[in-house]
């Protein structure tokens, strides 16, 4: 005879042990007449709790004790009768059952809340998002400051993305809004929900929210960045520029804002102005301390110069990016193409192409480009290996097939047309 008994707190379990078994909580091996053993557990059948597993002897004392416990304990605390919904139920019924199960009171509120949160996480892990959502609503009503501590509010992000994955954007937004309710003085929840709005094409909602958030957190660069992105996505470039200029009037030495302004001017193809903004931003920051930011601005300058045909100037800034971040794959690709297609320096192009292939060995385009470079250098066996590899990876990419056909022509013909490779296959 075995009973698995649920308690919502350690204190409740201790009281149970003393009431029915008169045992020492710190030594559950204490011999109690009629019992074989008692063991505390953190869960039973995947249900979290302060469980007590009790094995009764099959004698008169054990049988009497077993029936006494069964008759006096409420059924919702015993074995499989403990409430743990595995099917979707109405919110009102869930709350009624949870209130009965956890007996929330001032005395046990913290322990019961921790246990309840474990159950909520379990439901989410098992795909019962609506059950988790109702649980969080109840927890917020009973213990409003609980989720604010120890970053417990992150469960709302997990829940939001779960809803999004199931196509329930409305419910996902509600989860992010609950984060704002829990942390009204923090910029983070505003950043989370605005990013969600932008990703899901809801820029107008993002802009409205971000303007409110920036009024509370005027110096937060991430909120400003999201606002600028949302405005640009809607084509409101003038509004983005105006907002950034106003921000710079208050903080003229903010390198991040200069970088954002440069990005906007680049988007509207005002490259000269963009370059001035990027250079201003670089002068205002410590490049070694803020490598990522500095790298982004040098990359922006290089892109502007490249588009305007100033290839040597572009090269200087791409090399600066690599100096700051040697493994930047986008810049390695840009350097390889710049050297090969624009500066006619195949050996330099090869150096960076090799790094790309090492970093992305299954990237067909990387093999295609290094194959072209080897062709230009008259290293035909290596060119063949990479181009055939590219064909295996990208069987429907016509440029690869054209390059292989060129490879098959006689040596003199390839020599005569080698310099045309760059123009013919320029991406």
Residue 89 near residue 36 (C-beta atoms within 8 A): no
Residue 94 or 419, more confident: 94
pLDDT at 31: 57
Establish how many alpha carbons lie within 13 A of residue 324's alpha carbon, considering only the half-sphere containing its beta carbon. 21
Query: What average pLDDT does range 334-341 have in this prediction?
Result: 95
Q: What is the tens place of the pLDDT at every residue in 212-225?
A: 999 999 999 999 99
CA pair distance 237, 239, nearest whole angstrom? 5
Mean of per-residue pLDDT scores for the chain: 91
Residues 6+ apart with CB under 8 A from 2: 53, 54, 55, 56
Q: What is the tens place of the pLDDT at every residue in 231-267?
A: 999 999 999 999 999 999 999 999 999 999 999 999 9
Residue 333 lies in a domain: no
In this structure, the answer to whether residues 161 and 215 fall within a common structural domain is: no
User: Is residue 394 predicted with pLDDT exceeding 90?
Assistant: yes
Residue 379 or 21, more confident: 379
Residue 10 lies in a domain: yes
In this structure, the answer to whether residues 285 and 372 fall within a common structural domain is: no
User: What φ, ψ does residue 83 adopt, rounded to 5°?
Assistant: -70, 125
Residue 162: which of 119, 123, 135, 202 has the closest Cα? 123
The percentage of the chain sitting over the pLDDT mark of 90, rounded to a whole number, equals 85
Q: What are 286's two structure tokens? A: 């410590």
pLDDT band for position 18 (cuts 50, 70, 90): confident
- Domain residues for the domain of 312 are 236-326
pLDDT at 365: 94
Query: What average pLDDT does range 415-427 have in this prediction?
Result: 48
Could you tell me the CATH number of the domain that includes residue 282?
1.25.40.10
pLDDT at 413: 54
Least confident of 16-20, 23-27, 86-90, 97-101: 23-27
Q: What are 393's two structure tokens? A: 């990876």
Q: What are 345's two structure tokens? A: 């320096």
In this structure, the answer to whether residues 376 and 427 fall within a common structural domain is: yes
Residue 338 lies in a domain: no
User: Is residue 419 predicted with pLDDT exceeding 90?
Assistant: no
C-alpha distance across the termini of the chain, in Å? 76
In this structure, the answer to whether residues 219 and 256 fall within a common structural domain is: no
In this structure, the answer to whether residues 377 and 399 fall within a common structural domain is: yes
pLDDT at 37: 87
Please tell me the total count of domains within the chain.
Answer: 5
**Structure pTM?**
0.79
Residue 371 near residue 352 (C-beta atoms within 8 A): no
Least confident of 142-156, 356-370, 385-399, 401-415: 401-415
pLDDT at 24: 53
In this structure, the answer to whether residues 165 and 104 fall within a common structural domain is: yes
User: Is residue 176 predicted with pLDDT exceeding 70?
Assistant: yes
């Amino acid at each position: 005879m075995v009973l698995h008994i649920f308690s919502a707190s350690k204190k409740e379990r201790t009281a149970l042990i003393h009431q029915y078994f008169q045992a020492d909580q710190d030594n559950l091996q204490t011999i109690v007449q009629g019992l074989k053993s008692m063991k505390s557990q953190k869960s039973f059948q995947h249900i979290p709790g302060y469980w007590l597993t009790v094995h009764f002897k099959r004698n008169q004392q054990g049988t009497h004790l077993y029936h006494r416990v069964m008759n006096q304990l409420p059924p919702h605390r015993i074995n499989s009768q403990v409430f743990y919904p595995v099917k979707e139920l109405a919110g009102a019924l869930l709350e009624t059952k949870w209130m009965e199960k956890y007996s929330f009171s001032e005395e046990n509120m913290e322990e019961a809340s921790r246990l309840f949160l474990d159950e909520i996480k379990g439901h989410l892990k098992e795909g019962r998002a609506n059950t988790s959502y109702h649980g969080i609503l109840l927890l917020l009503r009973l213990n409003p400051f609980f989720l604010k501590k120890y970053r417990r509010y992150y469960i709302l992000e997990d829940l939001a993305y779960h809803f999004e994955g199931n196509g329930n954007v409305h419910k996902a937004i509600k989860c992010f809004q609950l984060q704002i309710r829990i942390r009204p003085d923090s910029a983070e929840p505003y950043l989370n929900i605005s990013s969600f709005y932008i990703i899901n094409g809801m820029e107008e909602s993002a802009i409205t929210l971000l303007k409110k958030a920036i009024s509370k957190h005027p110096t937060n660069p991430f909120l400003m960045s999201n606002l600028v992105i949302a405005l640009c996505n809607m084509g409101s470039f003038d509004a983005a520029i105006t907002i950034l200029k106003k921000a710079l009037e208050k903080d003229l030495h903010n390198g991040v804002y200069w970088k954002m302004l440069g990005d906007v001017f680049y988007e509207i193809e005002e490259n000269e102005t963009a370059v001035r903004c990027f250079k201003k931003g670089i002068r205002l920051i410590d490049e070694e301390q803020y490598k990522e930011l500095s790298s982004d601005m040098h990359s922006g300058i290089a892109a502007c110069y490249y588009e305007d045909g100033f290839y040597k100037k572009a090269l200087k800034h791409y090399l600066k990016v690599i100096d700051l971040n040697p493994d930047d794959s986008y810049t390695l690709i840009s350097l390889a193409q710049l050297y090969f297609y624009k500066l006619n320096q195949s050996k330099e192009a090869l150096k960076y192409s090799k790094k790309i292939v090492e970093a992305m060995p299954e990237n067909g385009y990387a093999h295609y480009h290094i194959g072209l470079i080897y062709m230009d250098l008259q290293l035909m066996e290596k060119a063949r290996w990479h181009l055939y590899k590219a064909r295996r990876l990208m069987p429907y990419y016509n440029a690869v097939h054209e390059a292989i056909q060129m490879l098959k022509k006689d040596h003199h013909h390839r020599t005569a047309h080698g310099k045309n490779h760059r123009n013919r296959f320029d991406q």
